[in-house]
Structure 1
Amino acid sequence: MAHAIVEWTDNLEGDADIHGLLSLIAAEMRDADGVFPWGGIRIRGIKLTDYVIADGKGDDAFVNITVKMGAGRPAEFKARFFAQLFEKVKAHFAELYDRRYLALSLYVEEADEAGSFKHNNIHKRFRKDS
């Protein structure tokens, strides 16, 4: 399980490559040497239309990424992987960040397996023995 929820303000519409960001996150997870099983990767975007940023007077914008994953990955891996991912997110938005007010954030949450229920046959497609 590795799910990423990307929220962004609608004032980025037409100015930011959100689908490119979703694809970037998915590719990074797929390229993590099997740490994230491909069949469990879910990247989704939510455009926000109702929000207030700072004093509510500027054309401020934000992109927030929340990653939810199962527990058990080593702390060293998480620190390295997510620091590198955030650097790639910053690079993805570098030009936009240079010309407008923009807040970027990334949060990582580990799911409590006792409170996590799943039914998924997508994994089967990626098994080498299938």
Structure 2
Amino acid sequence: MPHFIMEYSANLDDDLDIPALFEQLNNTAIATGVFPIGGIRTRAVRCEHYRIGEGDPENTFVHLTAKVGSGRDPEVLKAAADKVFATFTECLQLVFDKRYMSIGFEMTELHPVLNYKQNNIHQKLASR
């Protein structure tokens, strides 16, 4: 963990460099020292149907959710979230400066019992 899920309005297709944005988000998550590298997942969901504000078709949105495992101190998560949001907004700044845009970010902690996973990527990274 974290799993980063970015939803964005389809009218941003020509403005977003999603691979570069994801590289920066992953680098930031790694640099926090809070999250294991093998647990980081980053994906985008293009939203074809949306309505933003008063419905002006020039309005855009990008919302990032970070789902993280439970058990970390809230202050540690807050510090990591602050760094992720700073990177996220910095990467989007050029688009924000030229488009009407809503940028959102939420970090949520997954349920400690009802969260299931199986991952052998940690083993691969440990063997390096």
Q: Same fold (TM over 0.5)?
A: yes
> Identity over the aligned pairs, expressed in percent?
30
Report the equivalent of 2:37: 38
Q: Distance in 1 between matches of 2:102 and 2:86?
A: 14
Mean CA deviation greater in 79-88 or 102-111: 79-88
| Deviation for aligned residue 1:82 | 1.1
Q: Distance in 1 between matches of 2:112 and 2:126?
A: 23
Asked if structure 1 preserves the Cα contact closer than 8 Å seen for 2:29 and 2:84, the reply is no
RMSD: 1.4
Report the equivalent of 2:20: 20
Report the equivalent of 2:105: 106
| Deviation for aligned residue 1:68 | 0.4
Matches within 5 A, 1:51-62: 51-62=50-61
Mean CA deviation greater in 6-15 or 119-128: 119-128
**Structure 2: tracts of 5 or more residues without a match:** none
Q: Distance in 1 between matches of 2:123 and 2:89?
A: 34
Q: Distance in 2 between matches of 1:44 and 1:15?
A: 17
Asked if structure 1 preserves the Cα contact closer than 8 Å seen for 2:28 and 2:83, the reply is no
Q: If the length of structure 2 is used for normalisation, what is the TM-score?
A: 0.92
Moved runs in structure 1, 4+ residues, more than 2 A?
none
Q: Deviations over 1:52-102 (max 9, x none)?
A: 111112410000000001111222221122112212211111121111100
Q: Deviations over 1:6-59 (max 9, x none)?
A: 1111101111222211111111112222x2111111111111101111111241
Report the equivalent of 1:49: 48
Amino acid at match of 1:90: T
Asked if structure 2 preserves the Cα contact closer than 8 Å seen for 1:67 and 1:108, the reply is yes
Asked if structure 1 preserves the Cα contact closer than 8 Å seen for 2:5 and 2:65, the reply is yes
Aligned-partner SS, 2:32: coil
Q: If the length of structure 1 is used for normalisation, what is the TM-score?
A: 0.91
Q: Distance in 2 between matches of 1:89 and 1:16?
A: 12
Aligned-partner SS, 2:7: strand
